[in-house]
Amino acid sequence: MHADPSRPLFKGKTLQFVEQKMAAAIWRAGGLPIPLLNLHDDAYIGASVEGLDGLVLQGGVDVAPENYGQRPLRQEWSGDPVQDAYELALLKEIVARELPVLGICRGAQIMNVALGGSLYQDLETQVDGALSHRNWERYELIEHTVSLTQGSLLTELYGPADLLVNTIHHQGVDAVAPGFRVSAVAPDGVVEGIERVDDGHWLVGIQWHPEWLDGSAQGGPHRSDGAPLFDALLRRVRERRGGADT
């Protein structure tokens, strides 16, 4: 959250935060959630990555179209170049070390862009027949199914049946980054999951929010459980550490 002189708390100060349920989901899976800061210092990025076993990229604002060779179609889709620059630099360090990454919503989008893919700036106006993937009033109560790709990590975790998930995004994957495969698709054809889990890499991106699919009233117990994704990330971490505790 950039400096805002009208904000009643921390007036004019830049805030950096983690949504609570995200941290709780990592903790329940056996990890120790550690928020990373943007200090506008490449040396800090390198130093912070040294102590990590993996990375979860959370949701957030739009990705700036300039990062995938486009101009904003509307001013409100300009995104946040400051946040983008930090996460792109962070991903460069993480991928070079072959650390596992779970990208959620914006996290999946910035991962796709970082590795050579592109995005739709707005699904409703750029994808014919697109579902409503975001509604501010209903927010995480909106849901739709996703179909899983045979042989994908998601199929290993959940089986072949469709999942029922939340949906809170208006941008989405267009061109898939080289080396990735599509792992999940919405009924309207929008890509909902991408992955690269070979050649030493474990890079998984999904458009829905599994941290909110925890069986709570808002998350909805009728929806597909979000825990298997965090469990899979932590299994990968343990494998890289030779079975040691996280």
Domain boundaries, the chain: 20-240
Of 9-23, 91-105, 176-190, the poorest mean pLDDT is in 9-23
What is the mean pLDDT of the segment spanning 87-116? 97
pLDDT digits (tens, 9 = 90+) for 107-149: 999 999 999 999 999 999 998 988 888 888 778 878 999 999 9
pLDDT of residue 243: 64
Three-state secondary-structure class, residue 201: coil
- What distances in angstroms separate CA 176 from CA 68, 179, 187, 219, one per listed residue? 12, 8, 18, 29
Measured CA to CA, the distance from residue 26 to residue 29 in angstroms comes to 5
Give percent of the chain with pLDDT exceeding 70: 97
Asked if residues 89 and 38 have their Cβ atoms less than 8 Å apart, the reply is: no
Of 9-13, 65-69, 128-132, 220-224, the poorest mean pLDDT is in 220-224
Measured CA to CA, the distance from residue 11 to residue 25 in angstroms comes to 31
Measured CA to CA, the distance from residue 29 to residue 50 in angstroms comes to 22
Measured CA to CA, the distance from residue 156 to residue 195 in angstroms comes to 13
Three-state secondary-structure class, residue 196: strand
- What distances in angstroms separate CA 64 from CA 32, 69, 72, 119, one per listed residue? 30, 10, 8, 10
Measured CA to CA, the distance from residue 85 to residue 73 in angstroms comes to 20
Instruction: Give the CA count within 13 Å in the CB-facing half-sphere of 34.
Output: 12
Residue type, 130: A
Q: Is 211 one of the annotated active-site residues of the chain?
A: yes
Catalytic-role residue among 87, 93, 195, 211: 211
What is the mean pLDDT of the segment spanning 161-182? 96
Q: Is 201 one of the annotated active-site residues of the chain?
A: no
Of 15-19, 156-160, 171-175, 233-237, the poorest mean pLDDT is in 15-19
More confident residue, 139 or 39: 39
Task: With a cut of 60, say whether residue 81 has pLDDT above it.
Answer: yes
Q: What is the DSSP letter of 32?
A: -
Catalytic-role residue among 87, 93, 105, 133: 105
**Per-residue tokens: 226:** 């979000």
Instruction: Give residue 219's pLDDT band: very low, low, confident or very high (50, 70, 90).
Output: low
Identify any residues that bridge with 119 across adjacent strands, giving them in sequence order: 173
User: Does domain 20-240 match CATH 3.30.1490.120?
Assistant: no
Q: Is 144 one of the annotated active-site residues of the chain?
A: no
Three-state secondary-structure class, residue 113: helix
Catalytic-role residue among 133, 169, 170, 209: 209
